[in-house]
Structure 1
Amino acid sequence: MIKQPPYLKKGDKIAIVCPANKLKKSIAPAIALLESWGLQVIQGKSIHADHFQFAGDDKLRTADLQTFLDDADIKAIIAARGGYGGIRIIDQLDFTAFNKNPKWIAGFSDTTALLSHVQAAFHIQSIHGQMPASFEEGTRLSLETLRKALFGEELHYNYTSTAINRSGQAEGILIGGNLSLLVAMQGSVSEMDYTGKILFLEDVGEHEYAIDRMLRMLKRSGKLALLKGLIIGAFNEIEPQEIPFGQTPEELIMDIVLEYDYPVCFNFPVGHIPDNNALIVGRAAIMNVDNAEVKLAYL
């Protein structure tokens, strides 16, 4: 049974932590925005910590996140930024109190490790969305979708894709996140169940061959055949190769899932882009793809 954490209300306390890389700039503007939503923002020790590329060493980051997982007064935990490091601490965390009294965990990129873990191990919903380090570059709409997701307001998405989609309708639990991190979760207790799910994917800075390799790994393990629908977000900042790969991410993805009959849509506003809209991992949803027109709504 999937558990939904209580929605936030004005006056609630939330925590911001850095489970991965250290911050490169102040997140004061993001804190101000969160406070304008009526929230009390508590900053973890990792926000100001520095250990090589990390926001403090593994021990500090683990203890920082553990504090807020256990604190019943904290109603949501938002990762300040991604990078790399969540996978280094996830097995040292105790989710006992969190499982008894779920709270929202929000973030994207490297935070996919946490989102995947709480879905796979405890069937608890979480939010894939903007993080404080990306608030200033984020569109007003993307930040508003994060607020709506946290406060339980209605969320639905309608857009026109510029790529060639595969039309159809699908209902299922929404799962997904950063492709590299989802592949890194395979074979562990943090691996989500793909059966009957609508999967959304995004990634940044990966060559086409790496995207191809990771998706073929998911296909060979039987994951892609089990889906009800596939949502492709941004695959951006791809470095040019001396010898071209020969397929765009959209072309290679469609080639890999060609034999399946579920709907597939591209250009969904999610990923390492300013318009990174919030998606609720673990929530039942329905997707409708009618040529270029795409709709996603929660049930």
Structure 2
Amino acid sequence: MTPQALARGTAALTEMGFSVVLGRSVLARDGYLAGRDEARAEDLNSMLADPAVRGVWFARGGYGTARILDRLDWDAAARDPKVLVGYSDLTALFATATRRTRASCLYGPVVAELGDPASFHALSLRKMLAGEAIDLRIPRRAVLRHGRAKGPLVGGNLTVLAHLLGTPHAPAFRRAVLFLEETGESVYRLDRLLQHLRMSGALDGIAAAVFGSFEPGVRRRKFPPDRPVLELVREVFMPLGVPVAVGIPAGHLPGKWTLPIGGAALLDTSAGRLTLSAKAP
């Protein structure tokens, strides 16, 4: 996170009508982490417990959220639920927050992106912040299995989510609409992650699955040809017998829509629509 990107992002927040208070560790560094774990956790705990703070908008993604989950005061967070905004590595925080609090977790642009209007879908962000529902069009070509299903939206970044399995921070998958997105991972790694989800039993009982941006990394030279990502998705999700749609405009891509993790989701492929609300079902 550079001071320049932070300044552009906070200026955008101010233009949106928010009063911005910067976290003490927002520009901190500790190797590849944005500050020491205890400092980052203390910073976030102070925000979650402050009644004057109504939302926490995360500066950027990357790595490090999982390291502080056990240091956070979830009881305090549950007493005064906030709006939490971010994506990618914030998958870990949102998974725990939706289980232990009534926080509104919005999977959308981080502060570092707010200075670039092309990086996110402004209308979906505004509607989610206002507590309004949004409709995403699902073209027929994006449907792998037709059907109608509803439930809380869970998920986020595939890598982060897969590494929560077997911990107290994994989300509740049963009867949920699962959303997955990923970027920059080799196809064989995507295969491994999806197989991990399957073998863990996490997919047993999900209501539906929707996939956002899924751009694999650069293929290594002198390596056997990659398999299509869509083929991997079909192998894992088609046997489940639930509605499946791909190509949701969310994740690591320009113009990303904001999605409500923990909010109500209704996938209706015959109507070609995914309806999302920040309100829990």
TM-score (norm 1): 0.86
- 1:220 counterpart = 2:205: no
Shift of residue 229, structure 1, vs aligned partner:
0.5
Give the fraction of aligned pairs with identical amino acids, expressed as a percent.
31
Mapping of 1:242-281 within 5 angstroms? Answer: 242=221, 243-281=223-261
Residue matched to 2:93 = 114
In the alignment, is residue 63 of structure 1 matched against residue 42 of structure 2? yes
Q: TM-score, normalised by structure 2?
A: 0.91
Q: Please say if residues 219 and 226 of structure 2, whose CA atoms lie closer than 8 Å, have aligned partners that are also in contact.
A: no
Q: Greater shift after overlay, 32-41 or 69-78?
A: 32-41
Is residue 121–residue 189 contact of structure 1 (8 Å, CA) maintained in 2? Answer: no
State the partner residue of 1:200.
179
Aligned-partner SS, 1:240: coil
- Give yes or no for contact 1:161–1:268 (8 Å, CA) kept in 2: no
**What's the secondary structure of 1:259's corresponding residue?**
helix
User: What is the distance in 2 between the residues matched to 1:52 and 1:140?
Assistant: 27
Work out the CA distance in 2 between the residues paired with 1:245 and 1:37: 47
Partner of 1:285: 265
Matches within 5 A, 1:1-299: 22-23=1-2, 25-122=4-101, 124-139=103-118, 142-160=121-139, 163=142, 165-242=144-221, 243-290=223-270, 293-298=272-277
| Alpha-carbon offset, residue 86 of structure 1 | 0.6
Instruction: Check the 8 A contact 1:138/1:274 in 2, yes or no.
Output: no
- AA aligned to 1:53 is Y
| Alpha-carbon distance, 1:49 to partner | 1.6
**Deviation for aligned residue 1:235:** 1.2
* Secondary structure at the counterpart of residue 227 of structure 2: coil
Report the AA paired with residue 211 of structure 2: I
> Offset of 1:34 from its aligned partner?
1.5
Change (3 A) 1:262 1:245: farther
Count of aligned residue pairs for this structure pair? 277
**SS of corresponding position for 1:148:** helix
CA distance in 1 between counterparts of 2:7 and 2:54 reads 20
Where do 5+ consecutive residues of structure 1 fail to align? Answer: 1-21
AA aligned opposite 2:242: Y
Q: Do 1:27 and 1:132's aligned partners in 2 also have CA atoms closer than 8 Å?
A: yes
Give the match's secondary structure for 1:66. helix
Classify the secondary structure of the residue corresponding to 2:54.
strand
| Partners of 1:129 and 1:135 in 2: CA distance | 10
Cα deviations across residues 152-211 of structure 1 (Å, max 9, x unaligned)? Answer: 133222243754522211111111100111111111111111101000000111111111
> What is the DSSP-based 3-state SS (H/G/I as helix, E as strand, rest coil) of the residue aligned with 2:29?
coil
Kindly state the Cα deviation for residue 270 of structure 1 after the two structures are TM-superposed: 0.7
CA distance in 2, matches of 1:138, 1:70: 31
Question: Which shows bigger deviation, 30-39 or 115-124?
Answer: 115-124
Q: Please give the alpha-carbon distance, in whole angstroms, between the structure 2 residues aligned to 1:139 and 1:168.
A: 33
Which runs of 5 or more residues in structure 2 are unaligned? none
Offset, 1:25: 4.2
The alignment's C-alpha RMSD in Å is 2.1
Instruction: Supply the distance in 2 between the matched residues of 1:96 and 1:182 (Cα, whole angstroms).
Output: 23
